[in-house]
């Protein structure tokens, strides 16, 4: 089943549960929701921290070349990226951790400033689910091989209804890499 569809189902289910919790009648429930939310966010960070430890321990220095997706509004070709599996994985971990922190900031603002409590319930479940189902967790926690959908660089996830895969994912074919290398070489030649 598509991850976006399951996320929507979990979100709607959590919204129904959150509506039934009498936060107004018993302020103690708010404290429980806050505690569960903070614990969930810390668990998400712990998942990615554990993955980063495993990445550094393995220290996979296999070279990874790919062409970043080009901007559809621009005539410029995509940018050639040369990195290692270790550095690529660590950058993905960094993006995920920043996403968790930004989400926590938004939920904190909604809860503390605007007084909404329902997002605490919803965001206690979704980020943890997403962290445990992330590509990094699949590789470094669940021990799945980095092949198919888990082959680096990762393709962008399919849309909500799956059918249309984004065309602007990273390109790993030799022709695209050669073209990007030629463009990079010609740019360097012009600069010299």
Hey, is 20 helix, strand or coil? Answer: helix
Domain extents for the chain? 3-189
pLDDT of residue 1: 58
Of 49-63, 86-100, 103-117, where does mean pLDDT reach its minimum? Answer: 103-117
**Model confidence, pTM:** 0.83
Across 158-181, average pLDDT: 68
Dist. CA 118–CA 121, nearest whole Å:
5
- For residue 71, pLDDT beyond 90: no
pLDDT of residue 168: 63
Matching residue, tokens 């997706």 = 69
- What DSSP state is assigned to residue 133? T
Matching residue, tokens 């991850």 = 3
- For residue 165, pLDDT beyond 80: no
76 Cβ contact list (under 8 Å, min separation 6): 70
77 Cβ contact list (under 8 Å, min separation 6): 67, 70, 179, 180, 183
List helix spans (H) across the chain: 3-20, 27-58, 85-112, 118-132, 135-140, 174-191
């Amino acid at each position: 089943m598509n991850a976006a569809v399951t996320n929507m189902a979990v979100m709607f289910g959590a919204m129904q549960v959150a509506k039934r919790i009498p936060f107004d009648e018993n302020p103690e429930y708010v404290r429980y929701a806050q505690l569960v939310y903070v614990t969930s966010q810390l668990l998400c960070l712990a998942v990615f921290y554990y993955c980063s430890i495993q990445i550094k321990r393995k220290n996979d220095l296999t070279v990874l070349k790919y062409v970043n997706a080009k901007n559809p509004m621009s005539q410029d070709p995509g940018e050639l990226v040369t990195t290692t599996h270790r550095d690529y994985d660590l950058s993905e971990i960094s993006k995920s951790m920043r996403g968790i922190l930004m989400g926590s900031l938004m939920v904190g603002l909604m809860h503390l400033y605007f007084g909404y409590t329902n997002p605490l319930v919803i965001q206690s479940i979704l980020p943890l689910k997403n962290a445990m189902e992330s590509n990094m967790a699949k590789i470094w926690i669940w021990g799945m091989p980095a092949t198919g959908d888990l082959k680096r660089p990762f393709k962008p996830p399919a849309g909500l209804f799956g059918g249309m895969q984004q065309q602007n994912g990273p390109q790993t074919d030799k022709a695209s890499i050669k073209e990007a290398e030629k463009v990079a070489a010609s740019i360097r030649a012009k600069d010299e």
